[in-house]
Amino acid sequence: MHTTQSEKQDTPINRVIENFSPELAAQLRQVYIHIMSGKELRGWNPKWNIQFRPENKIFLYYRGNALVLTIYKKSNAFNVCSTNNTLKEKAPEIFQSSLVKEATDKRIGIAMEELFKLLIQENWLEIMEKVIDDNYKKQNKESQRGEEEREDQEKEVEQRLAAKLEGRSDFFVIDTEIRISGQVQKDDMLALQRAQDGTYNFVPIELKLSSDAGTERKRGGNKRNAVGQACEFCKTVKKNIDKFKESYKIIYNHKCDLGIFNGTSEIEILSDVMNPIVLVIGESNDAVQKLEKHAKDKTWNKDGEKGCEGCEAKNVCVVTVRCCSETDFINHPLGRE
């Protein structure tokens, strides 16, 4: 079937850093080691998480917000900005640093070799943490939570789960906040699950906090609940499977170079089986039970054939709803006891 999207020349996912040089890897590795230095401690609560983004961007996530590093294609330099737009107002010291090459209201240009010095020695990460923490305190005082704050909270859980699963080889998150070119909405998390023979499958994950399990998001003109979103996500991955495999193999290697993943050899990702999950974090409630029922009822019968219209799986919808605590998910991501 031909659609305008598949005819487009651009890559459906473009998250590969074009000039991922050994120098860049070395700089980022230092930063990563620093931000994860509490990893071995008991009660480790990772605050930061690194993800690669389209257009040569690296996002350093903190509580759902991000410090964005954009690599200039030709020079060894970064453009730094924040998804929190109050950077200059709240952290003027960053803009006044003698190591900053150029600065506008929201962005700062720095040399790549200064990255560690700026982020760690000049405490930029700590300054960013404070700006974001203050924002959260302000939000908590305001009685009504808007949709944006809810999404930030969801992203915070996403980043924390991704960070906590780093270092595992049976199940880990390869990416979060996935946006396919030509699509408006973002998908929450994409994990890789290892089979017995050592190969991997993609696992699309739609994340919800149980308090928000009943919310619906607009997808392609229609409102979809979390099960519908997971079905669509699964369908997107299937439709673009070759691009996904190609891009995420490279991203896996980048992350191994940074020490985020422990892999030593090429990863083999299969095209077929996928078990998309709606992951609800928290206690079960009416909305969660409704989702569970919806996942089971999504099967349709047409012309003697059975399947799911959403994920286009044969026989039954392949989405499962899992409701548990963050700790339970970290300990048993595959649902085994």
What backbone torsions phi and psi does residue 137 show, to the nearest 5 degrees?
A: -60, -40
Please tell me the distance from the alpha carbon of residue 257 to that of residue 254, in angstroms, as a whole number.
5
Vertex 233, ends 190 and 264: CA angle to 5°?
Answer: 25
Pair 117, 78: CB distance under 8 Å: no
Nearer to Zn ion, 12 or 310 (CB): 310
Nearer to Zn ion, 179 or 296 (CB): 296
Pair 324, 230: CB distance under 8 Å: no
Near Zn ion by CB under 5 A, which window of 50-58, 81-89, 261-269, 309-317? 309-317
Q: Does 308 bind Zn ion (CB under 5 A)?
A: yes
Counting residues that bind Zn ion (by CB under 5 A) gives 6
Q: Does 310 bind Zn ion (CB under 5 A)?
A: yes
Strands 108-111 and 102-103: antiparallel
- Among 17, 67, 311, 324, the residue binding Zn ion under the rule CB under 5 A is 311
DSSP state of 112: G
Q: Does 204 bind Zn ion (CB under 5 A)?
A: no
Q: Does 180 bind Zn ion (CB under 5 A)?
A: no
Nearer to Zn ion, 169 or 315 (CB): 315
- 70 has which bridge partners? 57, 79
Nearer to Zn ion, 68 or 308 (CB): 308
Provide the mask over 254-293, with x wherever binding to Zn ion is found by CB under 5 A and - wherever it is not: ----------------------------------------
Residue 80, C-beta contacts closer than 8 angstroms, at least 6 positions apart: 67, 68, 69, 70, 107, 108, 109, 110
Site for Zn ion in 221-260 (CB under 5 A): 231
* Contacts to Zn ion by CB under 5 A: 231, 308, 310-311, 317, 319
